[in-house]
């Protein structure tokens, strides 16, 4: 669609492009603001004597645990498939 402007109102694709770019830029600003908030929380934690590296590790582990839970549910099934066993 975007490359075929011959049968479109003049500037249509251009407007659409502008809109897409601005939406993405807006979202990226929001994302950056949240990233900054996260940094602030880490800074606060550090100011209160917490070991930031340890906090990061805890967060990482909790994330992995959450991610793995779904995955591990599928493993037994997959092993069975892999072995040609009908569980």
| Residue closer to DNA, measured from CB, 8 or 42 | 42
What gap in Å lies between CA 4 and CA 12, rounded to an integer?
A: 10
Spatial contact of 80 and 86, defined as CB atoms under 8 Å apart: yes
CB of residue 9 to a copy of itself, shortest distance in Å: 14
Site string for DNA, 16-55 (x = CB under 7 A): ---------------x---x---x--xx--------xx--
Q: How far apart are CA 2 and CA 7, in angstroms?
A: 11
Q: Does 51 bind a copy of itself (CB under 8 A)?
A: yes
| 32, 40 contact by CB (below 8 A) | no
Quick one: what does residue 5 bind among a copy of itself, DNA, none, with the CB cut-off 5 to 8 Å set by partner type? a copy of itself
């Amino acid at each position: 669609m975007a490359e075929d402007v011959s049968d479109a109102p003049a500037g249509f694709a251009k407007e659409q492009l502008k809109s897409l770019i601005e939406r993405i830029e807006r979202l990226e600003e929001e994302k950056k603001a949240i990233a900054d908030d996260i940094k602030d929380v880490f800074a606060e934690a550090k100011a209160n004597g917490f070991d930031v590296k340890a906090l990061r590790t805890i967060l990482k582990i909790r994330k992995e645990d959450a991610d793995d839970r779904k995955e591990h549910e599928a493993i037994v099934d997959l092993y069975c498939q892999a072995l040609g066993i009908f569980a």
